[in-house]
Every structure is written in C-alpha cells, then in structure tokens.
Amino acid sequence: MSSLHPRDLIPQDFDIDAFAALIDRPDPAIRQDARERRRRTAVPQAALGRLGELGDWLASVQGQAPARPIERARLVVFAGDHGVAAREVSVHPAGRASDLARAVLDGSAPVSVLAHQYGAQVRLVDMALDCDPGELPEEVVRHRVRRGSGAVDAEDALTAQETVAAFRAGMAVADEEADSGTDLLVLGDVSVGGTTVAGVLVAALCGTDASVVTGRGSGIDDLAWMRKCAAIRDALRRARPVLGDPVRLLAAVGGADFAAITGFLLQAAVRKVPVVLDGVVSAACALVAQRVAFRAPDWWLAGHVSGEPAQAKALDRLSLEPLLDHGVRLGEGTGALLALPLLKASAAFAAELPETGEAGG
C-alpha cells in the first residue's frame, strides 16, 4: 500500500516525458541556407559579428531562410510570492510581489517603459501572488494556482496536483500566444524570494554548494546574503532526494511560477516559438526543462547577464551565451527585452541585405 498522501500523487493523465519526443531541433539545413545567403551579400562575413549568427538562428527557428522581420513580440511575465521570503532574503517585504506586479500593469515598472519603447505587448500571469485575486484583473489571475508558495527550506512549495496545474497553465499560455501569432516570446518574472528558489534549483541540478549560487538578488546586504545562503542550503537537503523527478522537484523546492515557466518553455518549443530568457529565474526553469527535453534549449536565447552566479551556472550547463552584459539587474524581463532591438536588427539584415551572387570575404 502506498505511503503517499493523495496530495502527493501526480495526475495519471499527465506525462511530462512526452515532451522529449514532441520537441525537435530547429532545422539545421535552413540555418545553413541562411548562412550561405549571408555569404552572398556585399557585407564581409565577419562584419556583422553576432548579428549575423542571430539571423541564422532566427531563420532556423522560423523555418525559412532568410529570416523574416519580428513583428509580434510579446513579453510574458509570470508572478508569484514565495514563503522563503519570510527568512528576510530580499530587500522587498515578504508577500509583496503584488506591488511589483501592479507596477507592471499600470506601466510604471522599468520593463513596461521598455516594452512601450520597443513595441512589445506585455502580459502578466499571476500564478501565486499573496493577495486577494479580486485586486487584479480577471485576465491576470485566471491561471492562479494558490496564494503564495510554501517556504522551500522547510516545506514543499506546492502539492503534486498544484505543480501539474501550474505546469499546464504555463503550457496553456504558450499555446495562447502561439495561436495569436506571437513570433517571439520574451520571458519575465516578478516575485519576492524568487532568486532564492532559483538558487536551490540550480545548485541541485548542477550538483554544487549553496555558497556557489547565492547572489545578491534584489540588492541584499551581507547579513541577508548569509540568511539566503542558509535557506538555499536547507532547501538543497530537501531537493536532492527528488532530483530524478522534475514534477516532484518543482513541488518540493520550486513554486507555482517556476512550474508554469517550465511548462511555458517546453510548450513554446513544441509550438516552435522562440523564447528570450531573462535572469536567474528563467534560467533555473530552463535547466529543469532541459532535463525533460534535451533539445528544447535550441529554441531559446539568453538575453543578458543578470549578475546572479546561479544564472551563470545554469547558462553554462545549457550552453547558452548571453547576448548582453550591461550590469542591468532590474529583473521583470528587462534584460531580455533589451535584447529585442538586436534580434530585430539581425532579422532585418537577414531579410533586406541584397545578394551580390558572390561569397563575401
């Protein structure tokens, strides 16, 4: 007889392993066609630097060469509170991520300013904010799984059923965006305590110690850093026994926003919609998703260097090189959004530079 409580049982109709077969790599032949076309332009092969390589990548994920212009970019921001924030690991008060979320909604957040400047639509998805759902628009809260996630250093973040519900919510958001014609997804997150949770996942999946992945997050001082490191260390003890099961790992030491982002990343790859990752939270979720489907990272780009050591660790494991390093630590998807003009430029060069008929030097 099973000793598992019903809340720990994963729904029988949920098969996370199916993603490994559903996700293909972008077509390497199209990438090669784009590269060959680039060689036939009047611009010397090396002159465009990484912009040329980005154009080749865009062609492969779009399934055509040359790449077409990016016309419908969407920033999707997943939001949630984390119980571990009660350990005073952030400069923001525990349970107050809703304040940050409202700033995204009313346009006063830095990421909202950039999105307006770059012509990207913004979508906020509340997965586990610690506020009354009536305080936010219905469209924002309709995927919410619970009010706040558990403190991962001492308890599970979610039940197995909540984890699957959040994962499916992320999949649904990816499907909605793909169906609406979004051609580039920019990933963001809003939370209090999120970088602590991300540090736990990265340390667990990379087999490293808490001190190696503990960063300054929202700008914490030395005492808060020590509290954060201790919380990650304690949560790691809870993570290691479930490392082989992504669903149980996300339930034990993740959160509703982390499960949703993981599902979002995998389903976006199934739907062949490219995603630009932001900081350490999206990198940690990408690391979990890679464990599920090893080909999925080919559909993602790392937007920037966030300064969090756990992000650097995760991106190294994912073999993703960040596009930008400007010292920006704002979060919310700001760093990923700053990469959008580069991607638009690379697409424009790929589509509009005329061919000369001869290979460039």
300 is written with which tokens?
């993602």
For 276, the 3-state DSSP assignment is: strand
Residue among 162, 177, 308, 332 flagged as catalytic: 332
Write the DSSP assignment of 144-156 as a string of letters. ---SSB--TTTS-
Cβ(281)–Cβ(308) below 8 Å:
no
Helix (H), strand (E) at residue 79: strand 73-81
* Chain CA centroid to CA 330, Å: 15
User: What is the rounded CA–CA span in Å between residue 227 and residue 222?
Assistant: 9
The position carrying tokens 């999206």 is 282
Residue closest to 125 by CA, chosen among 97, 101, 93: 101
Give Cα separations from 281 to 71, 197, 328 (angstroms): 26, 8, 15
Interatomic CA distance for residues 315 and 118, integer angstroms: 26
**In the chain, what is the greatest distance between 2 CA atoms, to the nearest angstrom?**
73
* DSSP-assigned beta bridge partners for residue 126: 79
Judge whether 155 counts as a catalytic residue.
Answer: no
Could you write out the DSSP letters of every residue in 111-123?
HHHHHHHHT-EEE
User: 87-105 burial string, b = 16+ CB within 10 Å, else e?
Assistant: bebbebebbbbbebbbbbb
Catalytic residues: 332
